C-alpha cells in the first residue's frame, strides 16, 4: 500500500491550476480559511490545497493528480460529516460544494442530483412536482455523504433508505476513470456505493427514484414532561410495534426549545418529545397517528398539516453549524425496560441545553431489503439512537464527551453491535461495527477499485490482500 506524502507540492498545485475549470486554494489565500470550515466546529484541519471542482472533468483531474503525487485525499460534499472527514491536514481536498445541479423528471419520477447539493435544495426541486425520495432530517446535510452511508429519514419506513432509492451513480474511481454504476453496469461498485461510504471513489452524480409525497403532510411534535417519560415510553413501545409503515414515531430527550405552541413555563425544561410523521394522505394519518398522540397526558400537541419541505427543515435551528459536536450511536432490535430506564436516567443529566438523546424508529421498508443486497448491513434495526451532544465552550469538551461515552456504554448491552457509519465521530475504530457482515465483501471490492487506499478519509475499509 502506498504511503501518502503529507504536503501538496507546487508541481501538483500547478497541474491542478492548469487542468481545472474551478479554482485551487492554498494556505494564505483569502478564501482558504472559510473553505476549510465544516459543520462540526471541533474540526480544525489545514489542507495543503483545496480543489474547487466545477464538474466531473475537474474531479477526474483532481483524482489523477492526487494519485500520481501520492497525496492524502478528502472529499468535501456538504461538509456535514461528524468526524470531519471532508477535510484533511496537509493533503488535497476535492471540494464538490459548487456542483449543485438538480434535474427532476416528473414523468419518469427520477432525479439527477450533483454531489454538492443539500437536502433542502433537493427537496425544493422535487416538491415542485409533489415528489420526494427518503433523505435525512436536517436539511443542510449534503446529499452525497448521506447517500453513501445509507441515509434514513421520515420517509424511510415507507420507501426505504436513500441508498435503496439510488438507481445509478456516476463515479470517478482511484485510477481516474469515470464510470457509471447501476444494477447493470459495474454492479459490484453499485453495491458498494449503497452504504459503503466514500471508500470507492468520488460520485459526481446520483440518480434517484422519486415518490409522490405532499406537498402537505401530517406531522408534528408531542411534548411530555420528563417525569412522565418512563410511562410514556413503555406505552410508546407497545403502540409503535403495530403502526403501518407510513408512520414514523421518533423520540427525543432535550431541554425544550422556546417553541410557540409550548407554554412559556416549559421553555428550557427537560422534556420528552415524540416527533410524529405520516407519509400518506393526511386524512388517513389522523387515524394512524392517533394511538401515539393518545399516550399519557402531553404538555403540548402540535401535530397538524404542514408542507413536507417545511417539516424537513423544522429541526435545522437545533443543528446549526459552528457548535462543537460529539455523537455516539447504537442500533436496537427492540425497546427493553432497561433501555427506557437508562434513557430517562441520563436525560436528567444532559450536559448542555443544545444536547439531545434522539431515537429514530426504523424498520418498515428498510428491513424488507436483504442484508446482502446493499453494502448497508443494518436491516435488523427497529430503533437507532444518536446522542447529539452539542456545546460552544471548548472548556466543556471533556465533560460532554465523557457523558456521551458513558451513555453509549450503558446502552451497549441492549444494542445489536452495529453502528450507522454516518454517525461515527472518531476517524477510525468502528469499521467492523459500521459494515458488519458485509465488511469482507467491501474489502474485496476495495482491492478492485482502490487497491492503494487513496480514499481513506472515511470509516475506512482496507483493501483485501
Go through the domains of the chain in sequence order and give each one's CATH number.
10-95 (3.30.43.10), 102-213 (3.30.465.10), 216-423 (3.40.462.20)
The confidence score (pLDDT) of residue 55 equals 98
Cell 427497529 sits at which residue? 382
CA distances from 300 to 222, 264, 273, 357 (A): 6, 11, 10, 19
The confidence score (pLDDT) of residue 22 equals 97
CA distance 460 to 331: 20
Angle at 393 between CA 388 and CA 399, to 5 degrees: 60
The confidence score (pLDDT) of residue 428 equals 76
CA distance 219 to 234: 22
Residue by residue, pLDDT tens for the chain (465 residues) are: 445 555 899 999 999 999 999 999 999 999 999 999 999 999 999 999 999 999 999 999 999 999 999 999 999 999 999 999 999 999 999 999 999 999 999 999 999 999 999 999 999 999 999 999 999 999 999 999 999 999 999 999 999 999 999 999 999 999 999 999 999 999 999 999 999 999 999 999 999 999 999 999 999 999 999 999 999 999 999 999 999 999 999 999 999 999 889 999 999 999 999 999 999 998 899 999 999 999 999 999 999 999 999 999 999 999 999 999 999 999 999 999 999 999 999 999 999 999 999 999 999 999 999 999 999 999 999 999 999 999 999 999 999 999 999 999 999 999 999 999 999 998 777 999 999 999 999 999 999 999 999 999 999 999 999
Q: Cβ(218)–Cβ(305) under 8 Å? A: yes
Instruction: Please give the grid coordinates belonging to residue 315.
Output: 429541526
- Ramachandran quadrant class, 287 (left: phi over 0; alpha: psi -120 to 50; beta: rest): alpha
CA distance 316 to 164: 25
pTM: 0.95
CA distance 443 to 436: 12
SS (H, E, C) the chain: CCCCECCCCHHHHHHHHHHCCCCEECCCCCCHHHHCCCCCCCCCCCCCEEEECCCHHHHHHHHHHHHHCCECEEEECCCCCCCCCCCCCCCEEEECCCCCCEEEECCCCEEEECCCCEHHHHHHHHHCCCEECCCCCCCCCEHHHHHHHCCCCCCHHHHCCCHHHEEEEEEECCCCCEEEEECCCCHHHHHHHCCCCCCCCEEEEEEEECEECCCEEEEEEEEEEHHHHHHHHHHHHHHHCCCCCCEEEEEEEEECCCCCCCCHHHCCCEEEEEEEEECCCHHHHHHHHHHHHCCCCCCEECCEEEEHHHHHCCCHHHCCCCCEEEEEEEEECCCCHHHHHHHHHHHCCCCCCCCEEEEEECCHHHHHCCHHHCCCCCCCCCEEEEEEEEECCHHHHHHHHHHHHHHHHHHHHHCCCCCCHHHCCCCCCCHHHHHHHHHHHHHHHHHHHCCCCCCCCCCCCCCCC
The confidence score (pLDDT) of residue 6 equals 55
For helices 282-293 and 229-240, the axis angle rounded to 10 degrees is 130
The confidence score (pLDDT) of residue 427 equals 78
Amino acid at each position: 500500500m502506498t504511503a501518502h506524502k503529507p504536503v501538496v507540492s507546487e508541481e501538483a498545485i500547478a497541474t491542478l491550476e492548469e487542468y481545472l475549470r474551478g479554482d485551487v486554494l492554498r494556505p494564505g489565500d483569502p478564501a482558504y480559511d472559510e473553505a476549510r470550515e465544516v459543520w462540526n466546529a471541533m474540526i480544525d484541519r489545514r489542507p495543503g490545497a483545496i480543489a474547487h471542482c466545477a464538474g466531473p472533468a475537474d474531479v477526474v483531474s483532481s483524482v489523477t493528480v492526487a494519485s500520481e503525487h501520492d497525496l492524502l485525499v478528502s472529499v468535501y460534499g456538504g461538509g456535514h460529516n461528524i468526524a470531519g472527514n471532508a477535510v484533511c491536514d496537509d493533503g488535497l481536498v476535492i471540494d464538490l460544494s459548487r456542483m449543485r445541479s438538480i434535474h427532476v423528471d416528473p414523468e419518469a419520477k427520477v432525479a439527477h442530483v450533483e454531489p454538492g447539493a443539500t437536502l433542502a435544495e433537493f427537496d425544493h426541486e422535487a416538491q415542485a412536482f409533489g415528489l420526494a425520495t427518503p433523505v435525512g432530517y436536517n436539511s443542510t446535510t449534503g446529499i452525497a455523504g448521506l447517500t453513501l452511508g445509507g441515509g434514513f429519514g421520515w420517509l424511510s419506513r415507507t420507501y426505504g433508505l436513500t441508498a435503496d432509492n439510488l438507481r445509478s451513480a456516476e463515479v470517478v474511481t482511484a485510477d481516474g476513470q469515470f464510470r457509471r454504476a447501476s444494477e447493470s453496469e459495474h454492479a459490484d461498485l453499485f453495491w458498494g456505493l449503497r452504504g459503503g461510504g466514500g471508500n470507492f471513489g468520488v460520485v459526481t452524480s446520483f440518480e434517484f427514484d422519486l415518490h409522490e409525497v405532499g406537498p402537505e403532510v401530517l406531522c408534528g411534535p408531542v411534548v411530555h414532561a420528563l417525569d412522565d417519560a418512563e410511562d410514556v415510553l413503555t406505552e410508546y413501545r407497545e403502540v409503535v410495534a403495530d403502526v403501518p409503515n407510513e408512520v414514523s414515531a421518533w423520540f427525543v430527550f432535550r431541554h425544550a426549545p422556546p417553541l410557540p405552541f409550548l407554554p412559556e413555563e416549559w421553555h428550557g425544561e427537560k422534556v420528552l418529545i415524540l416527533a410524529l410523521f405520516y407519509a400518506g394522505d393526511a386524512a388517513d394519518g389522523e387515524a394512524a397517528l392517533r394511538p401515539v398522540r393518545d399516550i399519557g397526558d402531553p404538555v403540548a400537541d402540535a401535530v397538524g398539516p404542514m408542507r413536507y419541505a417545511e417539516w424537513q427543515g423544522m429541526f435545522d435551528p437545533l443543528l446549526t453549524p459552528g457548535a462543537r459536536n460529539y455523537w455516539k450511536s447504537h442500533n436496537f432490535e427492540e425497546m427493553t425496560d432497561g433501555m427506557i430506564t437508562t434513557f430517562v436516567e441520563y436525560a436528567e443529566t444532559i450536559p448542555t441545553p443544545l444536547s439531545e438523546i434522539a431515537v429514530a424508529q426504523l424498520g418498515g421498508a428498510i428491513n424488507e431489503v436483504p442484508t446482502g443486497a446493499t453494502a448497508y448491513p443494518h436491516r435488523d434495526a427497529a430503533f437507532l439512537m444518536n446522542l447529539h451532544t452539542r456545546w460552544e465552550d471548548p472548556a466543556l469538551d471533556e465533560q460532554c464527551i465523557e457523558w456521551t461515552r458513558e451513555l453509549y456504554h450503558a446502552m451497549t448491552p441492549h444494542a445489536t453491535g452495529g453502528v450507522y457509519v454516518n454517525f461515527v465521530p472518531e476517524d477510525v475504530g468502528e469499521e467492523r461495527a459500521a459494515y458488519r457482515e458485509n465488511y469482507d465483501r467491501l474489502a474485496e471490492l476495495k482491492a478492485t477499485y482502490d487497491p492503494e487506499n487513496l480514499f481513506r478519509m472515511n470509516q475506512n475499509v482496507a483493501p483485501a490482500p
